[in-house]
Amino acid sequence: MSLIESHIEKDELFEKRRDYWLRQLETLRSDEEELRQGGSAKSHARQAAKGKMSARERVAALCDPNTRFLELGLWTAYGHYEEWGGAPAAGVVVGIGTVSGHDSVIVSNDPTVKAGAWFPLTCKKVLRAQEIALENRLPIVYLVDSAGVFLPLQDEIFPDREHFGRAFYNNARLSAEGILQIAAIMGSCVAGGAYLPIMSDESHIVEGTGSIFLAGSHLVKAAIGEEIDNQELGGALVQCDVSGVVDHRHPDDMTCLEAIRRQFAQLAPGEKAPFARREVVDPLHPIDELYGIVPIDRARPYETREVLARLLDGSELDEFKANYGQTLICGTGWIEGRVVGVVANQRSIVERRKGTGSADKELQIGGVIYSDSADKGARFVELCNQKRIPLLFLQDVTGFMVGSRAERGGIIKDGAKMVNAVANSVVPKITLFTGNSYGAGNYAMCGKAYGARFLYAWPSAAIAVMGGSQASKTLLSIQLKNRGDEVSEEEKRERLERIENRYAEAMGPRYAAARLWVDAIINPVETRSILARSLAVAAGNPNLAEFKTGVLQT
């Protein structure tokens, strides 16, 4: 292993960057605390008056003491559904927790948010949770307390391939794969939503508050004229003792959760993928120095190896083709004792040797993928699949190189090779957005469309089809195309500013996380522990397919 040398100067610029990102994180965490509150205080009081725990209290009681719940999708639906009062966290808590020693996916409906109803993004978030369980062979627990589909938006959630019904399709697939699903009916469970707990492998229900039926009392009266209350229609006694639909009933939430914990304690440990392990070694440099390394202005260059020196064990990287394709850093290292293949965009300007002479050199722009970088990246991804080494992509990419020279050099062909290799990769892939993620660079560096097991973003991340300045000027040109000289310079500046502001908002990490393009916005100092947890979870699936690519142009 080669030691990554650090040359950081803790000067005024370093402190300025540090202070800026700490302020950004403070705002971010304040917003997240508000999201965690879910519905109103009044709504929480109503739940407590019924003897019910909140969605997050249920998760905490289910998980082992002194273990971390890795929440995913907290920002889902941020800025959405405002005409109906919003839907914090899409009305459902999702994440990975440790239950009686077993890493598990947990899905907990929040009845304080529109009675736990499913919005379109709620559906997308639950499907993402099931995808994580399936890909990593994790058991999954559903803590059900939901009024079902949010009817005003039923056309956006009911009939399509990735809509509500897909959750039950996934129930069936998970069960067929031998991945344990346990459901607890802790509140309402109505209509089509009733299939989710009953298609799970084992089900529980809480007396007095839990109920499950295809049609509630109001609909029953409207449909067939029968008058009956919900508990008599589908409460715990009916569905457990009479119909036999549910397997276990309990007097309260805590007793129910304790029963699930006992069931998990009886599980045999799952088989693990044979990824290499070694003793944990701390980086040589403090991880909180990351705050002073990443620029405030995303267009500014910086040395990516300084970031790696604070993420990798011992600040060591066994670099692959270090002096070739230098705008992409590839190499193997360790994160908390777990082997990983790193593919990272180099953000500093690098010098490329074109020939053998000392003067035969050119400068390459950092963050841009050139033909030689793409060729190197494709080969490194192939090697990691051959060696069975999980991949970590650090994205700060402005795209592939453009221009006549790049086109004549075959940039599209070389980019396609890298995209092909990443798409067909069978080892676990984890993506961290540290800065820019523009255009096809997002694809080649394993964006959401390319099957990463987990995707995380720093507050410095920006995801868009192109950079804000280029996009805004392009949009302005299109708007003014047929107006000639009618528009004054002042109006042009005003229009450009409005476009830039809108575009900047759409590039930010909150915007991406609200749409589940990333699973979480994370604090840079927590990156090592979160990546290590993700690698450990990914090792839960020992079944790696044969790696093969499609047709590649040479």
Distance CA 185, CA 234 (A): 11
Share of the chain above pLDDT 70, in %: 95
The pLDDT score that the predictor gives to residue 113 is 97
- 149: tokens are 């589909």
Contact call for residues 412 and 369 (beta carbons, < 8 A):
no
Contact call for residues 439 and 401 (beta carbons, < 8 A):
no
The pLDDT score that the predictor gives to residue 349 is 87
Distance CA 124, CA 139 (A): 19
Q: What are phi and psi of 329, to 5 degrees?
A: -95, 125
Distance CA 417, CA 551 (A): 9
Within a 10 A sphere around the Cβ of 514, how many other Cβ atoms? 19
Angstrom CA distances, 222 to 151, 213, 215, stand at: 17, 15, 10
The pLDDT score that the predictor gives to residue 476 is 67
Distance CA 146, CA 114 (A): 9
- 95: tokens are 């994440």
The pLDDT score that the predictor gives to residue 40 is 95
515-541 residues labelled b (16+ CB within 10 A) or e (exposed)? bbbbbbbbbbeebbebbbbbbbbbbbb
What does the angle CA 30 – CA 31 – CA 33 come to, to the nearest 5 degrees?
65
The pLDDT score that the predictor gives to residue 191 is 80
The pLDDT score that the predictor gives to residue 484 is 57
Contact call for residues 535 and 390 (beta carbons, < 8 A):
yes
Q: Given the DSSP bridges, would you call strands 391-397 and 429-438 parallel, antiparallel or unpaired?
A: parallel
pLDDT 10s per residue in the chain (554 long)? Answer: 699 999 999 999 999 999 999 999 999 999 999 999 999 999 999 999 999 999 999 999 999 999 999 999 999 999 999 999 999 999 999 999 999 999 999 999 999 999 999 999 999 999 999 999 999 999 999 999 999 999 899 999 988 999 999 999 999 999 999 999 999 999 999 887 889 999 999 999 999 999 999 888 888 888 899 989 889 999 999 999 999 999 999 999 999 999 999 999 999 998 999 999 999 999 999 999 999 999 999 889 999 999 999 999 999 999 999 999 999 999 999 999 999 999 999 999 888 877 666 667 788 888 999 999 999 999 999 999 999 999 999 999 999 998 899 898 899 999 999 999 999 999 999 999 999 999 899 999 999 999 999 999 999 999 987 666 666 667 667 777 666 556 677 777 777 777 777 767 788 999 999 999 999 999 999 999 999 999 999 999 999 999 998 887 77
Angstrom CA distances, 393 to 180, 263, 428, 471, stand at: 30, 37, 11, 25
pTM above 0.75, yes or no: yes
Contacts of 148 (CB under 8 A, 6+ apart): 117, 118, 188, 190, 191, 192, 193
Q: What are phi and psi of 523, to 5 degrees?
A: -75, 125
- 217: tokens are 């009392």
Q: What residue ranges in 224-280 does DSSP mark as E strands?
A: 248-250
Residue 294: which of 546, 523, 40 has the closest Cα?
Answer: 523
Distance CA 288, CA 18 (A): 9
Q: What residue ranges in 302-443 does DSSP mark as E strands?
A: 316-319, 328-335, 338-345, 350-353, 361-364, 368-369, 391-397, 399-400, 429-438
Distance CA 28, CA 521 (A): 9
Share of the chain above pLDDT 90, in %: 80
Residue 517: which of 532, 506, 501, 533 has the closest Cα?
Answer: 506
Distance CA 457, CA 509 (A): 7
- 342: tokens are 């790193």
Distance CA 98, CA 108 (A): 15
Contact call for residues 535 and 338 (beta carbons, < 8 A):
yes
- 92: tokens are 């459902």
Q: Given the DSSP bridges, would you call strands 429-438 and 454-457 parallel, antiparallel or unpaired?
A: parallel
**How many Å is the maximal CA-CA distance in the chain?**
92
Q: Given the DSSP bridges, would you call strands 328-335 and 338-345 parallel, antiparallel or unpaired?
A: antiparallel
Contact call for residues 271 and 541 (beta carbons, < 8 A):
no
Contact call for residues 306 and 291 (beta carbons, < 8 A):
no
- 252: tokens are 């309260």
Residue type, 429: K
Q: What residue ranges in 314-388 does DSSP mark as E strands?
A: 316-319, 328-335, 338-345, 350-353, 361-364, 368-369
> What is the dihedral angle through the alpha carbons of 50, 52, 54, 60, rounded to the nearest 10 degrees?
160
Contact call for residues 330 and 319 (beta carbons, < 8 A):
yes
Helices 253-265 and 55-62, interaxial angle, to 10°? 30
Angstrom CA distances, 256 to 47, 162, 246, 268, stand at: 17, 31, 13, 21
Q: 548 in helix, strand or coil?
A: coil
